[in-house]
Structure 1
Amino acid sequence: MKIEKISGLQLFYIMVGYELGTAIILGGGGEAKQDTWLVLVLGMLCSLIVMGVFIKLSTYYPDDTLIQMIPKIIGKYLSYPIIILYIGHFTYSAARACRELGDLILATILTETPIFVVIGSFMLLIVYCLCGGIESFGRMSEMVFPIYLFSLAVIWILLLSVEDFTTRNLTPVLGNGVKPVLNEVFPNRINFPFGETIIITMFFPFLSNKLNISKIGMLVVLVGGILLTINSIMLISTIGPEIYSGNYFQLLTATQMVSIADFLERFDAVVILMMVAGVFFKAGGWTFGAALAVSQLFKVKEMKPVLVALSTIIVPISLLSANNYIEHIEIGFDFFVPYVHTFLQIFIPILLFCIAFIRNKKLS
């Protein structure tokens, strides 16, 4: 397999875009209502510890992805079932991201278009980009992410013009007590979207300067968390905690309220394009991780056929994952995030870190 490299800035763009990806669509911490911003802050701070585990693993094995370091830590035969689980996790997560985008597009602008056409076209775009290699993905991030961030900032500014916008919607702080906040933080918010940055362990070996691993990893969590926190504050201030907690597309709903002098309005298209860009990073990151994992497990030198094969799996999985969007969300937050994510994104990495730490202590 050709050795490719990406810069620290490119990896930062990819991972922050990845972290925001579907989190911008799904919001988060809705059960905490006006304290959602606090859920995100606490989730971000706790997730710095999880990112620290990812960073230390990559520091112990700087030239290896997560899939390559697992056999070195727990042995060849024990590693196989764990690697298969991660491949399944990456693949299914890519399918979920595609499904979330597909449902968004169908609910807004392409209401008469079959969902498989939307998801299939989007997957084709991702595979086309990834077939150019990680360098192509990195260059794409340099073009797309600044525009994405600028669009998000513009939307926030426009929300200030909404007549109903008031920061009083954020009060009373902890009005429902601490329990709803902690219930949202553990385990949901740590796992989604912060814990999903485990995919960064599949990118670290391609970093041109590995001395920047710690800095990039921590900045990804901090910057992504701060942006999500600001976004939740702006949305709750605009639509209120009750609508926020019961709405599936909060950013879109809030943006539809923007009307400046009855002339500048209907910014829905900007929001949808921004969300498409975010899901591109999210689904692209998961797909790259899955394809690379399969290639390394079966020692496939060329990743393009693996990407094409995976795309033919991801699209049908996204369609069969749930009968509708509500069921899709329920499966995600009632089962997949609290159980599968916790096991694969927190428990296993911490266990691997402990074993790797002991091994390195013995060798030193």
Structure 2
Amino acid sequence: MEKISKNQLFCLIMMGQIGSTNLWALGIEAKRDAWIVDIISTIAGMGLVWLYTSIYSKYPDKNIVGITQSILGKTLGWPLGFIYFMLYAFNATRTTSEFADLINVTFLQDTPNLVIQIIFYLAIIYVLFLGIETLGRIAEIIFSVVIFLIIAIYIMIIASKQIDFKELLPVFQDGYKPILKAFYPIGINFPFGLVYVFFQFWKYNGSVKTVKKTTYWALALTGVNLTVSLIIMVTSMGINYTSNATIPFLEVIKLINIGDIITNLDAIGVILVFMGGFYLTILFYYSAVIIFAELFHIKDYRWVLVPLAIFIMWYSRVYEPNYPFHVKYLLPQFWQQFVPLSNVVPIMLLIIFYLKKYCNKDLNIKNKEGSREGI
């Protein structure tokens, strides 16, 4: 079986998190208190990490399909595994449409959306055809570039003297209700709930201790990055502009102007949008491929890559015709998929595991007592 190192797993998790969070002002529904939402979500997100890794630690050599069938049996586990396949395929469809639209609207207005998607998936299929180890090695290289660019943007926007921390005041202006509303379900599940996708990747490391430690560190740093990014957005653009901007992080980049020399850095935005979308999509897409291959006993998952990519590109144009549609139906999607499949089902799986363990232990004790009485 292929293996990925601790550093590769860390970079994969971070790239998935950056791809899903860094471009947007998450928690902005709480206005000036959005940074509080991000901090609370990070702390609560550690609870989700504990939940997911606790389930994984019981079956370190299995992915979500093997875990559901081991806990629930094939009768219930197989359909639940198929539901997770549909979930990952749907999320791959959503991210494909979302990032292709963003690239099309902001940078490549004259390029057909379908062309962008085809180029996107040619790169994805090529990487996945080479295997998980290649994906991990590329993630190590790309992560270094992406994190350098993000930090450079933070430094340059501060150097441009665009920051005004008064935009964060007053704290708790509208009370705690907007904070709680922004916190659940979106704040905690986006991005921290997305870690459930790594049920398909953790087994390639093999060390439960390493997986837990690496995932906790990656999510903690994601929380720091998320909070800093939000503060930079609000303090440089103001709460109203940040709330209404399509891609707030790109608008921050446009504000950079150091001595009229360092300016017009939109190219950095192109790189971050593409890399973030690439890794977020590839994680969902690869998970769907792996699950489908295991459910239908396809020995080589590579046979699934091209047909599923074609289906996703077609479905992305049917389900989500444009970016405003995506934004409008984002909240209902969280209640439809993240709450039941990312929050409720994992809790139930862990409870059922311990119930079965307790019942089996009690049964073994009774069998031993019966054997002694027979003697």
TM-score (norm 1): 0.96
Q: Which amino acid aligns with 1:13?
A: C
What residue is the counterpart of 2:66 in the other structure?
Answer: 68
Match of 2:276 among 262, 266, 278: 278
Match of 1:254 among 252, 256, 279: 252
What residue is the counterpart of 1:298 in the other structure?
Answer: 296
Task: Give the alignment of 1:36-185 within 5 angstroms.
Answer: 36-185=34-183
Structure 2 unpaired stretches of 5+: 362-375
Q: How far apart are the structure 2 equivalents of 1:43 and 1:239? A: 23
What residue is the counterpart of 1:205 in the other structure?
Answer: 203
> Is residue 156–residue 234 contact of structure 1 (8 Å, CA) maintained in 2?
yes
Matched, 1:355 2:316: no
Deviations 1:148-178 (A, max 9, x none): 0000000011111334321111111111211
> Is residue 162–residue 238 contact of structure 1 (8 Å, CA) maintained in 2?
no
> Is residue 321–residue 328 contact of structure 1 (8 Å, CA) maintained in 2?
no
> Is residue 32–residue 184 contact of structure 1 (8 Å, CA) maintained in 2?
yes
Instruction: Quote the offset at 1:324 in angstroms.
Output: 2.0
Deviations 1:333-363 (A, max 9, x none): 2x11122111111111110011112223445
Q: How far apart are the structure 2 equivalents of 1:362 and 1:206? A: 31
Q: How far apart are the structure 1 equivalents of 2:150 and 2:143? A: 10
> Is residue 25–residue 248 contact of structure 2 (8 Å, CA) maintained in 1?
yes
Q: Which amino acid aligns with 1:350?
A: I
Task: Give the alignment of 1:323-338 within 5 angstroms.
Answer: 323-333=321-331, 335-338=332-335
Q: How far apart are the structure 1 equivalents of 2:209 and 2:48? A: 19
Q: How far apart are the structure 2 equivalents of 1:74 and 1:332? A: 31
Match of 1:190 among 183, 188, 201: 188
Q: How far apart are the structure 2 equivalents of 1:220 and 1:35? A: 24
Q: How far apart are the structure 2 equivalents of 1:73 and 1:104? A: 41
What residue is the counterpart of 1:29 in the other structure?
Answer: 27
Q: How far apart are the structure 2 equivalents of 1:363 and 1:202? A: 28
Q: Which amino acid aligns with 1:34?
A: R
Deviations 1:177-220 (A, max 9, x none): 11111101111111111101101111111104333121122122
Instruction: Quote the offset at 1:26 in angstroms.
Output: 3.1
* Superposition CA RMSD, Å: 1.3
> Is residue 188–residue 338 contact of structure 1 (8 Å, CA) maintained in 2?
no
> Is residue 39–residue 189 contact of structure 1 (8 Å, CA) maintained in 2?
yes
> Is residue 20–residue 190 contact of structure 2 (8 Å, CA) maintained in 1?
no
Decide which structure has the larger Cα Rg and report it. Answer: 2
Residue correspondences, number: 361
Structure 1 unpaired stretches of 5+: none
What residue is the counterpart of 1:345 in the other structure?
Answer: 342
Q: Give percent identity, aligned residues only.
A: 27
Q: How far apart are the structure 2 equivalents of 1:7 and 1:47? A: 24
Please say which of residues 352-361 and 65-74 is displaced more in the overlay.
352-361
Q: How far apart are the structure 2 equivalents of 1:202 and 1:318? A: 23
Q: How far apart are the structure 1 equivalents of 2:222 and 2:354? A: 28
Q: Residue 175 of structure 2 aligns to a residue in which SS?
A: coil
Q: How far apart are the structure 2 equivalents of 1:360 and 1:308? A: 41
Instruction: Quote the offset at 1:284 in angstroms.
Output: 0.8
What residue is the counterpart of 2:315 in the other structure?
Answer: 317
Q: Any runs of at least 4 consecutive aligned residues in structure 1 with deviations exceeding 6 A, and if so which?
A: none
Q: How far apart are the structure 2 equivalents of 1:183 and 1:316? A: 35
TM-score (norm 2): 0.93
Instruction: Quote the offset at 1:321 in angstroms.
Output: 2.3
Deviations 1:227-258 (A, max 9, x none): 11111111111111111111120000111011
What residue is the counterpart of 1:241 in the other structure?
Answer: 239
Q: Residue 113 of structure 1 aligns to a residue in which SS?
A: coil
